[in-house]
Structure 1
Amino acid sequence: MIPRNLAANPRLSHWVSVRPDGTVDVRCGKVELGQGILTALAQIAADELDVAYDRIRMVPATTDSSPDEGLTAGSRSIEDSGAALRQVGAEVRAVFLAAAAKVLDSSELSVVDGLINDTVSYWDLLDDVDLDVEATGAVEPKPVAERKVMGTSPGRLDIPDKVYGRARFIHDLSLPGMLYGRAVRPPSRGATLVSLDTSKAAELDGVVEIVRDGDFLGVIADREETAVRAAGLLRCEWAERDSLPDVDAMPEFLMSRRTEDVTIVDESTSDDAVTTVAATYSRPYLSHASMAPSCGVARWDGDKLELWTHSQGLHPLRLDICRSLGVAIDQVTLHHVEGAGAYGHNGADDAAFDAVLLARAVNGRPVQVVWSRADELGWAPFGAAMAVHIEADLDAVGEVVAWRHDLYSNGHVSRPGFFAAPALLGSQLRTGTPPPVSMDPPFANGGGSERNSVPLYTFPGQRITKHRLLEMPLRTSSLRALGAYANVFAIESFVDELAFRAGVDPVRYRLRHLSDERARAVITAAADAAGWSRRGEGWGFAFARYSHHGAYCAVVAEVEAETSVRVKRLTLAVDAGAVVSPDGLRNQVEGGAIQSTSWTVKEQVRFDRSRVTSTDWESYPILRFSEVPEVEVVIVDRPDRPSLGAGETAQGPTAAAIANALHSALDVRVRDLPLTPAAIIAAL
């Protein structure tokens, strides 16, 4: 069977080009976010093509020539793009072998690094081979035992430039005649521009253009610092209104609004219940908080647009740009250039559209737009605040006989290309249209708010209900793990509470209610690696399988809690099926655990009734390097099983393990994130 991403882009030449110099260009629709995906895909391609890893050149994605694989999201790149490239590699190899069989007049052929029977190479056969054909699905990829590059950890393709400070990021991009732009934001959501005085800014030497289109406002200058200064000199009068809820009462707000209700699971319940226990958990709005702010570079040439962006979805972004400006798809070309990692829908798409709007005013010259830190923390889409209420009915001996899970959240997707109206900030400011109400992907594809809301445990009588808010105080969209972070935090905290109530060790309690052998193996591996049997106070445990289709992950957290919560050590075990790159997998899981630690103990978007107020690193603190815990990652390799996505698997279990460890340390159950001193005092 042809993998779905290959079925959507079936022509082999769209994926692979073999060059006369002995290199192989590989194109895919997935983009590098710092997660190492292009390295892993290069390994897969090298294996199936039977060429050395260092011959592979991963070509950055572009809408002109790369296969359209949608978004780089959902921890699906290895599963989907990896499967497509494996099949492509197998079929390209077969095409070259068929050509070699004719040249050598032999059917007994073997390949070593592109050399067939020590006689003729792929690059010798270029005139005899046509890759401009569609995949057939008739060629079987290699069995596991014959893969040589997969399972090793070659040097990452993207790391040398970053280590040696060479130009690699979009912020480093320098085009001939480039100008610099800055967008000027309203002071708050829904504010409208009443009056504008541009005289001071226009007098500044180096200012090229001041652009106003509706409530979209920006400046263009010949130097970046001039654009920043000019933006500050614009005198704007805005009409504002209060539109935001009480930041310190988010669970109550979320659980009291108008919602679209969807039942995910509805099983029959038992009549044996004698006790019902319940708890409500919450997470705040979260920012992507990338170390570098978003950036875009655009250039118009007549009615043709060329755009450089670190968007995770080139084709959906192109669609929204075309709809916003009324231009045809074939007039617009997008190129991916790496930016700071985001793992979700941050400001990259919006910064790109800012550049598009400003560059239109200076047709023929490229314009770079870099967001400010206040833009990034105040105006990029946020991860949605969530409230989760769980109830369990217990029988006379304390066993669960019914489980109910109600989650309240905005949707987790407002990416470009998914709505009838453009979802770009600049488009909304131009037209005065509000952002679309965020939606969720279908549950069959992992869902959004409801992601990981169905526990793997064999609890009977499960009823899971999603309540998606139909109003949106703040723009929300995809942030790493989507709803899984809050749902797993809630489920695994509640399971710990049930284990404590039953007087049973938390690990044994979980194993008692799990039939999935891979889940049991991961739990045991984490407990053994951490030395769970010798644990003391301040230890916590949690487990989940990401999105029910991705990697399994179990976490042991060790914390200290004095004036604040300090996470000392995290031990994680992960089963991601067949491992492409062990080092890459460890990096992903370790990075996810550290980011989740930051969310769990520190991060929260703050706002008053009209404005986001957490717009710098003081008001939106993230984990400092001095606060990063020791992290150990144990890999449970399954070379005979399909590879599973692991980029988001650590987020939820890490949060719950830290919260459970805090309960162990202080005998206090904190159910509202982040686990700040104020939250601990409130729980007391």
Structure 2
Amino acid sequence: MSEHDFIDEGRRRFMISGALFVTFSMVRSTDALAQEVIADEGAAVHVAKETQALAGSLKTNPFLDAWIKITPAGKVTVFTGKVELGTGVRTALLQVAAEELNMAPSLITFLTADTGASPDEGLTAGSHTIADSGSALLNAAAQVRGLLVDAAAKHFGVDAGTLTANDAVIRATDGRRMSYGDAVGLVDLHRNATHTSPLKDPKTYRLIGTTLPRLDIPSKVTGGVSYVQDMQLPGMLHARVVMPPVYDAKLVSFDDTAVMKMPGVVKIVRNGSMLAVVARGEWQAVVAQRALEASSKWTPGRTLPDPATVHRDLKRIATQQIKVADQHAPVAPAVKTLNARYIKRYLLHGSIGPSCSVAQFDGTVLTVWTHSQGVYPLRDGLAEMLSMQKENIRCIHTEGSGCYGHNGADDVAAHAALIAVAMPGHPIRVQWMREQENVWDHFTPAMVTELKASLDATGQIVDWQYALWSSSHNERIVNAGRLLPARMLEKPFVSAPSVPMLQPEGGGDRNGIPLYVLPNIQVMNNFSPTMPLQTSAMRSLGAHTNVFSIESAMDELAHMAGIDPVAFRLRHLQNPRAKDVIQLAAKQFGWPRGPRARNRGVGFAFAQYKNLMAYVAIAVEVSVEPETGHVTLEHAEAAVDSGQIVNPDGVRNQIEGGIVQCASWTLHEELRYDTSRIRSFDWGTYPILRFSSVPRRINVHLIDRPGAPFLGAAEASMGPAAGALANAIFDATGQRMREMPIAGDVLRKLIDV
């Protein structure tokens, strides 16, 4: 890695040193202790009774030395089980730890998810990183600092309150000093965290709340080594895989004679329908893969759904009804009723860099470098697939080029692992081709939502009935069968059954319960355990569609009531923090706006992500070209409350990026397919937002709440941005767009009418 990339250099030094930190918990294993369950986009994690009150991920990783290690020489290493996905969390988490350790960040070696070193924090998903890992590090660092200072105080024979700790040195008023390295010899950090921590007064923070420059940016903007796609190891071989043309197709035959004679080709690896070619050079592997693919013959596979009827079919295949809200109260009679149906089509992740992994097997230990969002779940899946002990597999997170959700990272890691085990001693690099990344993506599911809402004579909502239909938003790795190559083997593994993610996190029903005060409300999640296409998690899961639906309806109800849309929302809210972001966004935007220019419109939307995380309100202005239906997001003002802010620029980056990505989803994106094949195999067949269409101006206004819990913000703008765009298009054209994507030819035809 680049010498300027501080964290990756730490990982490199760690790997060269050969050190292995093993952490485990000696909590009694009884059903009585497993009282609490934590779940995000992965499997549920049971929390022992005695650790329930601990902060964040300390609940599941309570030992202090799982998070912070200090050598006698004074070297401080901080660990997190979360990974960097381009959100800047490496920098923010380092800030948190450095703040409570009273150290300059440059003095700390910071290591992210590695099954041979870091605590097991499951997945980096659901905007949980700062809320869970940040809270754990904040408290672990404060407790470690407190223990070191107490140890030094006993050694000096003084009161701990008279000592100061700064940059890993503890100082007494009489000039005596002790390094953290010396102090750690007087205290055992292999102990459970306690329920209380000697946290600093937020007024004294020097790092938390400031914009520390991101550690991962320099190499990215200068073309340096930044991603797993950039990795090079001595003696590394390059592999490319041949994928089936369609789901469930089986490999019948292939011609390897000519391929084995091609320049640089070393080996063809086949196990059932898993087929790959290995070569000395990457381009040699690509050329050989194309030849091998051309000679391969497959069984027909299964028919794909008809895109013309897939949304209707969702109602037929949804076999589980989950009532997520049901409340009734006496109200005034309804005088106006809105009935609306909203549609979202399948989307793909569109990762800029096709999925990639490097693996090496030394005959005993398999090491996998991966951009998976969950190195521990991946390790467990690989162990089952390869019939290996978990202890003999090490998965090291290495950032990938573009992902927000469950793309091909785990699957390509499984490919690399299978090939590496077949070729011991050689580092094997596998990168999917662009068409493989698109066609074999874990798409975000198509969805249908239906709403019936009524107003009384005063314009108050008196009844809210909402239903949604969706297949799984979560096919993360919980067994080997969730790995695509494992299902292609001669002795194939079977994927674990699809199950719904329950509230309050939710999956397809994430943010399906409005934060508004509604006296009569019923919300039904109609879940399909079968999936017409391969689907899994993508940024915000069902929140994108649900908030789009809810906020579109709130706007329409406001117009039916003859009430300003912002005022309408405020009168249906009691949460003061929700009101604060709405009022701030409206103020900064200059809402209500006066008369608009022709083909210009403004829109507003709000949500608290998962009703648990950051509050976001967004006001936007759009321009519409009637002749083409093209929509440009001209201007957006967003207000955010994410509790205690760690890195202001980091929060702004995520909200801005979310608005841009959501504009692409909502205005343009839809997967193209027919009953035979996935047809969105490149950027021409799956258009995303272009640089020329990036919003002209986005301003993000932050409400900082020092000392308040961290609230995840990375996915919080997706839903509000979608709702605001739909409402602005209505303001510009008079057309209610209820089927995404909402721009382009469909809008043009409605305007022509």
- When normalised by structure 2's length, the TM-score is 0.88
From 718, 740, 743, the counterpart of 1:676: 743
The 3 A distance-change label for structure 1 pair 282 and 239 is same
- CA distance in 2 between partners of 1:458 and 1:589 (Å): 26
Deviations 1:344-367 (A, max 9, x none): 111100110010111122111110
Give 1:79's match in structure 2, choosing from 131, 134, 142. 131
1:112 counterpart = 2:170: no
Match of 1:210 in 2: 268
Shift of 1:457: 1.0
Check 1:84–1:570 CA distance in 2 against 1; reply closer, same or farther (3 A cut).
same
After superposition, residues 204-283 of structure 1 pair within 5 angstroms as: 204-234=262-292, 235-268=295-328, 272-283=333-344
Can you list the C-alpha shifts for 1:469-496, whole angstroms capped at 9, x where unaligned?
1321111111000000000000000111
1:174 and 1:20 mapped to 2: Cα distance? 34
Give 2:730's aligned residue: 663
Which of 448, 453, 462 is the equivalent residue of 1:392? 453
**Map of 2:616 onto structure 1:** 553
Using the TM superposition, name which of 432-441 and 133-142 deviates more: 432-441
Whichever residue aligns with residue 556 of structure 1, its letter is: A
Deviates more, 1:277-286 or 1:391-400: 391-400
Residues 210-259 of structure 1, C-alpha deviations (whole Å, 9 max, x = no match): 11211111111111111111111121111224522222443222233242
Q: SS of the residue aligned with 1:307?
A: strand
Counterpart selection for 2:402 from 341, 348, 357: 341
- Give a deviation string over 1:399-451, Cα, whole Å, max 9, x none: 3221011000011110112x5x520010111145665554332213x111110
Query: What pairs up with 1:460-609 in 2 under 5 angstroms?
Result: 460-535=519-594, 536=596, 537-562=600-625, 563=628, 564-609=630-675
Q: Which stretch shifts more, 114-123 or 47-56?
A: 114-123
Alignment match of 2:690 (pick from 604, 609, 624): 624
Which residue number corresponds to residue 156 of structure 1?
214
Aligned 8 A contact 2:101 2:144 in 1: yes
CA distance in 2, matches of 1:458, 1:240: 53
Deviation at 1:397, TM superposition (A): 4.8
Matched, 1:651 2:714: no
**1:22 Cα deviation after fit:** 5.4
Measure, in 2, the Cα distance between the counterparts of 1:243 and 1:269. Answer: 48
- Does residue 54 of structure 1 match 2:54? no
Report how far residue 306 of structure 1 moved: 1.0
Counterparts of 1:504 and 1:627, CA distance in 2:
32
Q: 1:143 matched to which residue of 2?
A: 201
Contact 1:250/1:284, CA 8 A, preserved across alignment: no
Q: Are 1:297 and 1:368, in contact at CA under 8 Å, matched by a contact in 2? A: yes
CA distance in 2, matches of 1:432, 1:2: 41
Counterpart-to-counterpart distance in 2, 1:82 and 1:548: 20
**Amino acid of the structure 1 residue aligned with 2:150:** A
1:325 and 2:377 correspond: no
Aligned CA distance change for structure 1 residues 561 and 248 (closer, same or farther; 3 Å): farther
Letter in 1 for 2:708: R
Shift of 1:60: 3.0
User: For structure 1, which segment, 100-109 or 71-80, has the greater mean C-alpha deviation from structure 2 after superposition?
Assistant: 100-109
Change (3 A) 1:314 1:598: same
Structure 1 residue 678: Cα displacement: 2.6
Which runs of 5 or more residues in structure 1 are unaligned? none
Q: Which amino acid aligns with 1:368?
A: R
Query: Residue 103 of structure 1: which of 141, 155, 172 is its match?
Result: 155
Cα 1:139–1:404 change in 2 (3 A) is: same
The RMSD of aligned alpha carbons is 1.8
Q: In the alignment, is the contact (CA less than 8 A) between 1:215 and 1:432 conserved in 2?
A: no
Q: Which residue of 2 aligns with 1:169?
A: 227
| Superposition deviation, residue 174 in structure 1 | 1.2
Contact 1:209 1:219 in 2 (8 A): yes
Letter paired with 1:236: S
Q: Is the 8 A contact 1:209 1:361 kept in 2?
A: no
| SS at structure 2 position matched to 1:377 | helix
Structure 2 residue aligned with 1:363, among 424, 429, 436? 424
2:676 alignment counterpart: 610
Corresponding letter in the other structure for 1:660: N
**1:7 has 2:59 as partner:** yes
Residue 23 (structure 1) shift = 4.7
Residue identity in the other structure for 2:338: V
Choose from 441, 459, 464 the match for 1:380: 441
Distance 2:498 2:433 in 1: 25
Query: Does the Cα contact within 8 Å between 1:243 and 1:473 map onto a contact in 2?
Result: no
Once the two structures are overlaid, the 10-residue window that deviates more, 136-145 or 565-574, is 136-145
Q: How far does the alpha carbon of each residue in 1:489-514 deviate from its partner, in whole angstroms, 9 at most, with x for none? A: 00000111111111211111111111
What is the match of residue 439 of structure 1? 499
Alpha carbons 1:576, 1:644 under 8 Å: kept: yes
For the residue of structure 2 that corresponds to 1:285, the secondary structure is coil
Say which is worse superposed, 644-653 or 387-396, in terms of deviation: 387-396
1:123 to 166, 170, 181: 181
Q: In structure 2, the residue corresponding to 1:197 is in which secondary structure?
A: coil
Structure-2 separation of matches of 1:9 and 1:258: 37
Alignment identity in percent? 43
- Of stretches 259-268 and 102-111 in structure 1, the one that deviates more from structure 2 is 102-111
Paired residue type of 2:645: V
**What do the CA deviations read for 1:71-93 (whole angstroms, capped 9, x no partner)?**
11110111111111111111110
Greater mean deviation of Cα atoms: 3-12 or 479-488: 3-12
CA distance in 2, matches of 1:436, 1:276: 42
| 3-state SS in 1 of match to 2:379 | helix
Contact kept, 8 Å, 1:438 with 1:477, in 2: the verdict is no
Instruction: Give distance in 1, aligned partners of 2:370 and 2:210.
Output: 31
Superposed CA offset, 1:254-273 (max 9, x none):
23324211000112265723
Letter in 1 for 2:394: T
Report SS of the residue matched to 2:254: strand
Change (3 A) 1:123 1:165: farther
Q: What's the CA shift for 1:395?
A: 3.3
Write the letter of the residue equivalent to 2:133.
S
Distance 2:153 2:678 in 1: 67
Deviation at residue 378 of structure 1 after TM alignment: 1.0
Change over 3 Å in CA distance of 1:611–1:130 after alignment to 2: same
Structure 2: which amino acid aligns with 1:453?
Answer: G
SS in 1 for 2:317: coil
1:442–1:382 distance in 2 versus 1, CA, 3 Å:
same
* CA distance, structure 1, for counterparts of residue 681 and residue 79 of structure 2: 38
2-structure distance, mates of 1:200, 1:248:
43
Q: Tell me the equivalent position of 2:250.
A: 192
Q: How many residue pairs end up in the alignment?
A: 681
Partner Cα distance (1:23, 1:155) in 2: 23
Deviation at 1:136?
A: 2.8
